[in-house]
Amino acid sequence: MTLIPTLNLPKGGRRPKEPDVAKAPVMAALAGIVAEGGAVIATLESGTLELRLATGEIFHLGEGTVTRIA
């Protein structure tokens, strides 16, 4: 299993001004799961990225959201 580093919020618990600061490590972790054979990522005709885990869950990866489909 791949460990996903957490985003440590600064003092006061505020989110970073740049919301994409967590996107790169999350995408890298997903790429690692795919490389290990635990998932497949495909681009749908609509342009949406779809993540299908070997366990059966399906997620759509948006610009700033992840939506569980099944």
Do residues 32 and 44 touch, judged by C-beta distance below 8 A?
Answer: no
φ, ψ of residue 68 to 5 degrees: the values are -80, 125
Nearest to 16 by CA among 28, 7, 24: 7
pLDDT for 6 beyond 60: no
Predicted TM-score of the model (pTM): 0.69
Q: Where are the beta strands (DSSP E) in 1-70?
A: 39-43, 49-53, 58-61, 66-68
What is residue 62's predicted lDDT score, i.e. its pLDDT? Answer: 87
Task: Compute the distance between CA of residue 63 and CA of residue 49 in angstroms, rounded to an integer.
Answer: 10
3-state secondary structure of 18: coil
